[in-house]
Chains A and B, each alone.
Chain A
């Protein structure tokens, strides 16, 4: 009995010693961080500064002007005089559509071609598109009038200038306006009306560009900086070998690093969110949700960073691993190519990468007011946990020689 008592006492004494050693290791970590002002600058000053800088940029106000288009009519039932728009055919729908284009506030018909009379109409229109004289070719098909007269949909083909992806939708919307006018005036059904979902739209008193930019910038910045901060913390600390010849345990050294850098990231995320809120970021969800989301993503970045540091033998190796992993993580994050469109094996990889979950999670909180506690959050936690376990295994097996 007495022996058990002594052993229990010894156990608690050991735990107490271990705890105090751990606290002092944390202190040492903070001291080391303090000796590297550049790291501190990257961690605490740079992210809020970038957000503040973005918030000061004025949104570009574009003066509206109607979209120049060319209409190529292949409708065999009609003949349209380009000078006075008179037609010679009976039961004709081409002219009403051209009228709708003229009436549309968003379109300016720069040229109208009758392809049934001029075989090179489409070629001429294409040349205009190439020369940037027009932004879109509207092609009326051969059986347009006939189809509509028989109550069938007469499909209008739209060939937009696709050199700027962001402009394609604008072009299509403008063409759609002419179709809307045409169907209204000719009592054609069905009529479609595009309307944004107001609960998801950014209110007018917020800067739309700033808010939509931050949806992309925050996840990248938070993850990237957490990575940069931590990729060298084990590999560059040579005296660990000597520390291991004292009663300190490897797990205490590693935990001290996790705690120290988690605390630094906590301050960093506070700074980022404050800068974003003061900069005018529209947050549909709660700030607490946003903070938890951002912090979870940062923690996953830290987990990847410390894993790289524990697994690398040299600083160069750690830097190379960081770069390779960062590029892959960004490319497979779904920001460039939707994850659903990737081959199945890439999808599998993509779903275990932090940014694939961090981006959508933050975006949903900012623009849809979603709760942080969803699939992406738990996936991020799971990924971080697995990485933490792997890091411990790698670090405990890491060879140190004094």
Chain B
């Protein structure tokens, strides 16, 4: 098994530069670039259809090279060449989303492990030894190791699946929605196990997820929207890009209405406002420390009754929301501008046509 000291080296294990993926006319991924260093946990976030899975499918040799362009290196090998596929696949692990479709439910966890491990050339004894270590880290009770997998709970199956992904000590482990379909309280367990495995084994991890809480365990996060990479950095650095480095005021307002939100928005130092509950809003201010007191005076002046107030730092979820909203607004603006330009051109052409007719008439006269 890999040792802890290997973690946090500067060695790049995944290098993606200007990746574009197309299937026929459909352009799925647009010019995506990022680098992942050894031992990092990378979270790939985005709403459905953002292109997360497509990127992972390129990295795991599942998409033919004719469908993508750009420079992609996974453990120094490019998936572009077919002869590299086996080598890449022997150096990476994959934990799919649905256990039902990816494990042999009739066989025991140990035999499942043995079956997958044998594909990497591991002997039975070696596989069992590593499996026992992994099962211990993942808290899979010893008395279940030889039971049929179908008798295990959903969480246990998920952990067995993770152990299978790690059995051959891969350089990179890809996890597809590891917390989907897991109870709310178990989600944090799964994330904790990921961090634990990352710390103990130093494995680089790629987590594709909708679950924004997963950012808690990620060293870096990538946010994708419609095939474009909107942001890629540590969650802390991303939050720092928000106004006042992410400092916000969380207010509970009596009888909160849309009009009140508009009034708050009109405050000159208010950068952003988000409604986060029935009567709760979060407000980002320009020069937060200086303007907070003036802002409260402004609210009192406008007869807005504050029930409670706290100051906080924005979390990743808020950053994600703001980024996606900004992107949507930007796109809406661009569309409007395009529409305006189109209309202007049409009107211009009509005027020109009229002028031409008039000129022709004059010439005829």
Contact = CB atoms under 8 A, between A and B. Distances in A.
Interface of A: 17, 20-21, 24-25, 27-28, 31-32, 35-36, 238-239, 241-243, 245-249, 401-402
Interface stretch (B72-80, B102-110, B132-140): B102-110
A247 B97 CA distance: 20
B106 A245 contact: no
Contacts of B115: 24, 28, 31
Contacts of A31: 107, 111, 115
A328 to B, nearest CB: 33
Contacts of A243: 116, 119
A239 B101 contact: yes
Given A35-B106, A246-B120, A247-B90, A238 B101 contact: yes
A27 B102 CA distance: 18
18 contacts: A24-B115, A25-B118, A28-B115, A31-B115, A32-B106, A35-B106, A35-B107, A239-B103, A242-B102, A245-B60, A245-B62, A245-B89, A246-B116, A246-B119, A247-B86, A247-B89, A247-B90, A402-B94
Contacts of B100: 238
A248 B119 contact: yes
B111 A21 contact: no
Contacts of A248: 119
Interface string B67-96: 000000000000000000010011010101
Contact of A402 (B96, B106, B111): B96
Contacts of B107: 31-32, 35
Contacts of A402: 94, 96-97, 101-102, 176
B361 to A, nearest CB: 66
Nearest to B123: A20
Contacts of A24: 115, 118-119
Q: Which of B115, B118, B119, B120 has the most CB of A within 10 A?
A: B119
A35 B105 CA distance: 10
Interface residues of B, number: 25
A35 B107 CA distance: 8
B121 interface: yes
A243 B115 CA distance: 9
B102 A21 contact: no
Contact of A241 (B92, B102, B119): B102
Contacts of A32: 104, 106-107
A243 B86 CA distance: 12
B118 A247 contact: no
A21 B118 contact: yes
Interface of B: 60, 62, 86, 89-90, 92, 94, 96-97, 100-104, 106-107, 111, 115-116, 118-121, 148, 176
B262 to A, nearest CB: 47
Nearest to B161: A242
Nearest to A237: B104
A17 B121 contact: yes
Given A31-B107, A402-B94, A247 B101 contact: no
A249 B121 CA distance: 13
A242 B121 CA distance: 16
Contacts of A246: 89-90, 116, 119-120
Given A238-B100, A245-B89, A247-B89, A21 B119 contact: yes
Nearest to B121: A17
A28 B116 CA distance: 10
List of 8 A-B pairs having minimum Cβ-Cβ separation, nearest first: A24-B118, A35-B106, A246-B119, A402-B96, A238-B101, A242-B102, A248-B119, A245-B94
Nearest to B85: A247
A28 B60 CA distance: 24
Contacts of B92: 245
Contacts of B62: 245, 401
A67 B103 CA distance: 70
Contacts of B104: 28, 32, 239
Given A31-B111, A35-B106, A242 B94 contact: yes
A234 to B, nearest CB: 14
A47 B103 CA distance: 32
Given A21-B119, A27-B118, A31-B111, 19 more contacts: A17-B121, A20-B118, A24-B115, A31-B107, A32-B106, A35-B107, A36-B106, A239-B103, A241-B101, A243-B116, A245-B60, A245-B94, A247-B90, A247-B119, A248-B119, A401-B62, A402-B97, A402-B101, A402-B102
A73 B92 CA distance: 95
B60 A20 contact: no
B36 to A, nearest CB: 18
A235 to B, nearest CB: 13
